[in-house]
Every structure is written in C-alpha cells, then in structure tokens.
Chains A and B, each alone.
Chain A
C-alpha cells in the first residue's frame, strides 16, 4: 500500500483528520527546507505538500508568489526539489510527500524522467495546478507506471460531470479548493464547503482534503469537521516570510502545532 493510503487509513481508524501543511521548497533557503519538513512532521503533519517554485505562479496569491521568487533566487529547481525529498527520506520513510506546482518545469524535464525520479527519491503524489484531467493523459500514464499518485483539484465551480471524470483519474486524495480565488485569499465560506462535500462524496471515494484560505486554528478546526484533511499553505509561508532564518523552524513548528491541536480537539 502507498504511503498516502496507509496514512489516511490510519487516521480513519483513529477518527482523526489529516493536517497537510504546504511549504515552498527552497524558501527561505535551500538548507532550511529539509529541517522544516522534519519539524512539520514532528509537530503533527500527516502529509507534506512541497511546492516546486515556478516563475509564473498564476493560481497563487502574493504570499506564495513571493516564496516562489525567493526560492528561485536561491537557485531552486525541480531537480533540486527531488534531491531534497531524497534527503528527507534518509530519516523519514513514512510521511507522504506530495509535490505541488505548475506543469512546465516537469514538461522541461520530461514526464518519464520525472516520474522515475519521483519513485527513486520517495515522492508519493504530484499535483500540477495547471494540468486539468483533459490535459493530463501523458502525465497520468507516466505517474501511474511508477506508482506516483496524481492529485487533482476540484473547485466550487466544478460540475458533477467533471467530478466524475476526476474520480476516475485521481489517486491518493483529492484536493478541494475551498474558494474561488488564488491561494491566500481570505473569503472562505464554510456553508458552501459543507454543501459541496456531499456532492463530491457521491463520486469520490478517496479522502478529500480542503485548502485555500485556511488562515488560523479556528478555521482549520471548522473545516476539518467537514472533510478528511486540511491543507494550510499561505499562512505557513507567511510565517516563514516574517521569521528570521534562525527562528524560522521553531516559529513554523509552533504555528503548525497550534493547528494540530485545534484539529484534534
């Protein structure tokens, strides 16, 4: 069984919800990413979404845009991100790692090379924001061949037919974007999420994670009641941006621990 399936299976048994933090690889520096990942696990992360920086992050708000810019300035590349996962796996062989980003860096590397490298270094899932199911046939084939889960986004605007289509292709878990907007926007609507999730469940038999717009412990807790996992990105990345490099690991640890406690309450 894959690391993602094992993790969600265990959580289900324990009747707990997954906490899925997002950090951009290479932000604030290349040396700090792996220590940050270990810290996230230590304070209760179940899955790590590791952002692959891209020059043109169209689906991201200013906070993650700036993180991407910092990471690229630090020389981060897709190759480098894969190296970081290899480094992380030296100590942690159980926590699932999902790479999240845009398709072009992968296109440039080639999907087969990429999927093979993912399998070698221990990446569990891949989410390419700008590759909807319609354009994911090639990606899907290569990821499947190497047992890497293609993670898909669903949105408030997604209709029933598309939910069905995604249900066929998705592995691992499905990521429900909780609002119309870019990452980091602040207008999350709980009742809309509550209404949408049962519609998703009709077709999606995988765990459903909800993200975009989760900014504090209270929202994380409220959202966790409605689904199987909460994804927190911009809030953590903002903490990284606001911290000195020497405090960043501790500060992020403290924040994510608060989220963990809130979700488990």
Chain B
C-alpha cells in the first residue's frame, strides 16, 4: 500500500486533526478549502515556482563537505544548503507559499509565531514583498537569545510583540498568535511556521517545504550517480525535516533520520525531544502529537540551546513516521551541537544555525563507523549569523 497521508480530516492515523476553539474552526476550514483549490492551480504553482527561483534563489545547492568528511574518516557528508536561501533558512519556502495563498484570499494582515526568529524574518520579508501588515509573536526569552533577528524583523516593517507568559518561548508565542487570530479572524492570515498545528497546516507546510527533498532527489544522482544512504534533518516542529524526508518515504533504500534537541541529555529531563524521550501522546496547538507533559497533562518547559528546536511537541507526520518505523529519531545534546557548529566553521567555512548543527552533529557521530563510500545528506536548514550572541555567551566572550 502506498503512503498517503493525511486523510480528509487531517489525520495521520491517530495524529493531527483540528483541535481548535470553535471560533477558529470555520477559519481553518476555509483555509483548507482554499489551499486545496489553489494547490493544483497552474497559475499558483507557476507563481510559487517563480518566487522560489527569483526571490529565494532556488534551487539551493548540495555541497560535499570533503574536509569535514575526511577528518571523520568514514561516510561522506553532503549538505543541502538551505542556509543559502534568501533570509538564511528553509522557512522562506513556506512563508512564500502561505503569503501567495493569503494574497488570493484577500487577507491584508499576516501574523506569525517565531522561536529562533527565522520564521518571523521570513514572514516579515514576504509581508514586505507583498505589501501586507505583519505582526510577529516571539517569546521574551527568545527575543534575548535572537536579538539580531528581532532587529531584522523591525527593519522589514514588522511589529514584534514580546510574549511574557509561560516559559516565554516558542510555545507561548504560538498561544499568543492563536489568541490574535481568534480576535482578528476575518482580516488575518496566520502564517504558521512549521509542519504542525491544526489541519491543513501540517500538510500545507510539508507540501511547500517538499521543494527541499524534490530538489535533492534530482541533485544527488547528478552528483554521485545515486541517492544517499541516509537523509538527516533536525526536528523542531518538523518542517525542514518533513520537506526533505517526504519525497524519500517511498525510496526504501534511503534511511531517514530526524534529530531532536537533547538539551542537557534525555536522562536529565531538560530537553526538547518528545519522540526520542518517549513523551506521551497529547493535544496542543490544534493537533494530537507526541507531547512533553507531566502526569497531569500539563505541558512542561523544554530546554534547548537552539530556540528553533525548543518546543514540547512535534508535527503529526513525524509521529506517524516514528510509529511506522519508516524514520528513526535520535537526540543530540547542546554540547554535541556546539561541537558540530565549530567543526563546520573550521573545516568548511560555513557557519550553521544551531538548529541545523544538531542534524550535522548526528551525521558526524555516525559517519566514522561507516564506509567511505557511504553518503549522508544533511539538511543545513539555516545559517548561524543569528546565533552569534548565544555562541559568544557560551564561549564567555562579550561582543
């Protein structure tokens, strides 16, 4: 049987769905209808392709990290360079897609949540590009961690609203964006940043991000005459990962590995790895997924060095891929991610985002025990300029 998810109601088996307050149900239903209408519309597809090519700069290249691979003495590491996209991460692929849809739906005001700030920057960028008002919700703690991105959003004309509730990170920014949407449902399009949330977001964001995997599937044979042995990506909500993974699901020879944020280590409890950490299934932000929670069903605070991975849930399709055994999920700790960050800077002259450094760290972990003819394709989901403050602080340097 071929893999075909989600179903009509947005379920990936038991995961996904539309767990939202009544006021927003008609809005997500309208979004679903409009998305299904435009998804296969030749004009929409052509405009999306045009923007990706001329505005984002796609296709993003694949780069053979030769010196890094040599230093490890095993498998060859290749990087899908999403960091070279306009605005510096994969987030723009999805933001463009949703903005084009918002334009067709006549919405002049867009809102977004952001953790690392990359999705906020991407949304502020497309809002400027298409002449829309833009409000970005961001946890107060993340505003501290990702100051350069806050400034970028403001330069682009967006209003950045600090969120002081709860853990002051990504999940709280999501709560606040949902509150805005409930209040301004008729005028506003919620550009959601990852492959999670109520249906149709997990499906729609995945579809927009699949450009990553679709390109890779053409590029790899051109470069090495075959597909890689494994594709590896970091998983926050899971959008860069599902974008790379989805086109490879039916390629059974390709191993799929998602890398979660292990924080101080799974055993410490201070992490953001619901799949690896065996979290229970629960409901948050519109979907049923593996969710970090206490025994009373309260969402617990997560920890990760990278704001973009610091989220207690994960998109529903990753939950399904885990259950099906089609993808494997692992965790990388803060210090391992930092070591990978340093290694890529020094060996290849590429400064990766801390999020992407998690995926790279796992590749570096498994490469040495693999043959030199093996190939690992790592999604370098973003560049690390935004992380200068965080990394400097950890190294004890004042900028």
Contacts and interface: CB of A to CB of B under 8 A. Distances in A.
Partners in one complex: yes
A155 interface: yes
B165 A104 contact: no
Interface stretch (B90-98, B147-155, B295-303): B295-303
A61 B21 CA distance: 14
Given A104-B282, A107-B297, A182-B179, A157 B18 contact: no
Nearest to A176: B22
A23 B24 CA distance: 24
Interface string A46-81: 000000001111110110010001001000011100
B390 interface: no
A106 B355 CA distance: 33
Interface stretch (A31-39, A124-132, A233-241): A124-132
A76 B178 CA distance: 25
A55 B182 contact: no
A252 B314 CA distance: 41
Contacts of B281: 107
Give the size range of A's interface with the partner.
35 or more
User: Which of B22, B25, B179, B296 has the largest count of A CB atoms less than 10 A from its CB?
Assistant: B22
Given A65-B165, A78-B297, A108-B296, A180 B19 contact: no
Contacts of A135: 17-19, 288
A134 interface: yes
A168 interface: no
B58 interface: no
A158 to B, nearest CB: 6
Given A79-B296, A108-B297, A56 B166 contact: yes
A162 interface: yes
A180 B18 contact: no
A35 B182 CA distance: 34
B182 to A, nearest CB: 6
A177 B23 CA distance: 8
User: Which of B24, B293, B295, B298 has the largest count of A CB atoms less than 10 A from its CB?
Assistant: B298
23 contacts: A55-B166, A56-B172, A58-B21, A58-B285, A59-B178, A59-B182, A65-B165, A78-B297, A103-B19, A103-B283, A104-B299, A105-B296, A108-B280, A130-B286, A132-B19, A132-B25, A135-B19, A135-B288, A158-B25, A180-B185, A181-B23, A181-B183, A182-B182
